Structure 1
Amino acid sequence: MNRHFRRRTAAFASAALTTAALTALCTAAPASASADDTDPVITLQKPAAVAVPTAAASGTETTVQPDLEYTTDASSVQTDATITIDARRVAKIANVSFSDNCTVENNVATCWELFYDDDPQGQLGSVTQMTISALPGVAAGATATYTVSGTATAGTIVGGTGSVQVGGPAFDLQPTVDHTGLAVGSTVDEPVQFTNTGDRPAAGAQLLLMASPGLGFAQHYANCKYSEASTSAPSEYALCTFTRTIQTGEKVALATPVQLNVTTAAYYTYLDTQIVPKGDPGLARTIDGHTWTEGTGGRLALTVLDPGTASSAPAGKVALPLTGDHSDYRIAALTADNTADFSVTGDTAQGAVGDTVDLHFSMTNNGPATLYDRSGSGIGLTVTLPPGTTVVGASAGCYPDSDVPQERAHGPYDCGEKGDYLVPAGHTADFSLTVRIDQVTPGAQGTAAIAWSYTPGWRPPYDPDGANDSAPLTLN
C-alpha cells in the first residue's frame, strides 16, 4: 500500500510492443550487433505441448497459443530476426493462424521479430504468435508437430519443434473457501473438488498445494511429496498424485479436506491449489528446482461424486485451457487473528559545512506474524531529510519520491527492499542516505517513517502500536 513501491512498480511496468513501436525502436538503434560485440545465440525454449478442445468439451477456450519463448547467452541483445514456423502438419488436424507480423503461404509463416534487451537475464520476449483451433470432425487424440527456425541480422537463432493434440482433460476446480479470524494454533479444513469438463479422460491427476508463510500441512500422505522454502512465498508445497482414471464428466473430491495448521507467523495467508492431469507438461515449470520429501502417512484418496461417462477417446495428459469462471487454479485467503509490530530506528550525525555524512535508519518487523501482501504493495519508509542538506548518495532500495531536481537533491526519499511484500517476523531492513551539509543548524531534524498508505492517518489493523512507526534523523 505504500507510495514508494507503487512508484517503482509503475516505472518498470512492461507492455506489449506494437509493430509501429518496434519499427521506431529499430530505426532509433542500428541492429548490427549485440552491445557486447559478441554475436548472440538466441535459443527457442522447448515449447510445451498444447491441446485444443473439440465441441465435446465445456468451459474451455476455443483456441490455444503455444508459448514461443527465447533465451540468449548474451548480456545484451539488439537484432532483427526472421522466424519461420512450418505448421503444415498441424493444419491437417487444426485451423492455424498467425500474428500480424507474419506473412503466410501454405501454412508456413515468415515472421519479422526484433530481439532487443539491454539486460535480458537470459530471457527474451517475442511478438510472434500462432493461434490454433480444432478442425471439425477430427478425432480426439490426433497429434501433429510444427517446427520453428530463424535467422538474425546479428547472431544465431536456434529453433525447435512443438506439438499439438486434439482434445484433452480439463479439470475445473471448485472455488476454495476463504477464512478470517483464525486463531493461532488452530487447524483449518480446506475442501478440494473438481470435475473433468474436457473431451478426453485422464489416466491420473496431480494436485499441487502451495501454502504461504503462517500455514503448514497437518497431514503428510504417502502419495504426496513435500517441499519447504524458508524465505519465500509460498513457503510449503505438497504435490499429491492420484493414479486412477478420471473419466469425462466425472466429479471427484478429496476424501479428506486439506488440513492446515495456523502458526504464530500467520496473518495474511493463502492456500494456492492447482489440479492437472498426471504428466501435464505445464506443471514442471512450477515444481522444478524443489527438493521433495515423500510423506509417510496413509494415502490421500479421491471420492467420486459423479462417475461421468466412459469415453472411447484415449486418455490425455495435456490439459485444455479453461475460460471464464472455470479454472484449474484457485486461491483461498485465510486471515489469522494476529499482530505484527513494525518499528523504525533513526540516526544522529555531526558535521561542518561541506562535510558529507551518512544517515542510517532501519525498519524491523517485530512479529510475531510474517507480513505477506500478495497485492505486491510492499512495506517501506518515507524519509524527509534534515534542513540544510543535499543528498549525494543512497543505499540500495532508496529513491527520490519523484524525478523533480529539487526532490532528488533534498527529498523526500522512499526506501524499501526488493521483495518487501514479504517481511518475515524478526527481519530488519537497513538503509542509508549520504548527505552534504550545506548549512549547520543545531538539532536539524528529518524523519524516517513507515509509509502505510496514501490515506493520511490510516494504519493496518495488525499493527496497533503507532508510537514506533517513525524515528528522527538528527544533524548537529
Structure 2
Amino acid sequence: MKAGARIALCAGLALVPGFVAAPVHAQPGDGVYMYDTWLTPGMTAKSPGRVATAKVSTAHAGGTVLFDLTELGDVATVTPPGDCTRDGRALTCPVPETLEVRLVLRAGRGAVDGASGTIRTTVAGGTTPATTRVRIGHGADLVPTRERTTMDVEFAGPVPLPVEFTNWGDRTAGGFFLELDATPPFSVDVPGCEGSIYGEVIRIRCRVDERIRPGGHYEGTPFTFRMGDRTDDDSQGYWIVPADRPVGDYTNAEASFDLHVISSADKGADIAVSAGPVVGLVGEVATASVTIRNGGPFDGGAAGTVYLESPAGTEIAGYPDGCEPSALALPAPNPNGEPVQQTTQCAAPVLASGRSHTWKLSFTILRTVPGGYGRVEYRGPVDPDVEDPDTGNNTATLTVQSAPAVAGTAAGTAAGASKSGRGAPIAWWRVVAVTAILVAGAGLAIWARRRAGKA
C-alpha cells in the first residue's frame, strides 16, 4: 500500500493478543517477556533512564518474577520497584495486577560504545528464562514523556494520537517513525503513512520528518485514526523509532494509550421516520413524502423495512421504486371504527450517518374523515452490533388535509361518485384562490368596457 493511501477496514481497533513487534535479540521465557534495551553512553541520574518492562502472562498472576543481573555487569544500573527485594545480583519482584514489572535502566559509569550485557528473567514455577540484551551505543534515544496516555473518544469518532517524547540520546534524530498494530475497523488518512496487512493485523508506519536534537522535546498529533464501531474501552501500544534505526529494531520504542469511549449511549444508528401530510381535494390524487434518516453516529444503519398505513378516507394510487403492498396490519386504529385501507411496505436502504432517503407515495382522497390518520413505522433487522439508541422516533403519523371538491371541476365530478363529508378548513385556500381569479377577471372586464365607452 503506497504512502498516503487510505487504510479502511471494517471492525474496531483492538489489541492483538500475542502479537508484538519483533525485537533484535530478546527471547521469551516461560510466561514472561522483556524487550531488548539500548542505552546512550553518559545516561546518568539526571536522565529519566530507560524503562524495561517485563510482561507476565495471566497464568502467573499473583506470583513473583526473578531478575538475574549477573551477566549485566557494569553495563547498566537497575532501579526496581519499591516492593522488590535485592539479593546480590538478583531481584525478586511480585507480579502486580497490571502483569507488568518495570525496571529503570541507566548506562553504568564508564560504559562505552559497543558494550552489552544480559538480563535473565524467570517467573516463579517457570524453567526457561527470558533473555534481554542491554546495549550501549551512540545515537538518538527517543523516550516517551508519558508511557501511557488515556483519551476520551466519541463512538466511531476520530482519535488524534498524542505523541510526546524527549531525545535523551547523544545524537540528533533526523526524523522518526510511528508504528502501530491494530485490527479493523481502522482508518488512517495521512501523507507519509504506509500500511501492511499481516493476517488480521494492520501495521501502520508513518514517518515524521522533524529533527530532534539531544535534549530536544517533541509534542504533537502526527496522525489520526478512527475508532470504527467499537463501543467498549480499549488499550493500544505504539512504537517511536528514530528514522535512522534499522527496520525491526524496536528497542526503547514502546508507549501505549488507553481509549475510553464516552458516548456508549449512542453506540449505534439513530433511525427516525417522518411523513408529510396528504393535501388535496376529495377526488384528487395527492402525493405525500415519507422519509427515513440515519442520525448516526454509526454509518450503515437502516436496511430494514418501513411500513405505511394509508390514512382513513384514502387509498394508495401508486407505488414508488422499492415499495409494494403488504399484508401487515399496523396497530393504529382509526377513529369511529374506520377500517385500515391498505398497508404498504418499503425496503429501507443502508444509510450513512446523517443521510436520508425519501419515498413519494400517491393517494386518492375518497372522502374526508375528521381526525383520520395513517401510521408510518420502521422495523429494523436484528443486528446485535448496531443498536438504535432512540426507538421513540421509529414511528410517525400520516395525516390528511382535505376539502370538498369545487363543483364543476374534475375533482368535483369524481367526488360526486364517492362519499363526501365535511371538509377540513385547512384546504379552503384552493377555494379562495379560485374566487380571487374570478374577481380579478370581472374587474378586468369592467375596466375594458369603460375604456371602450370613452373611446
Q: Shorter-chain-normalised TM-score: which range? A: 0.3 to 0.5
Higher helix content, 1 or 2: 2
Larger radius of gyration: 2
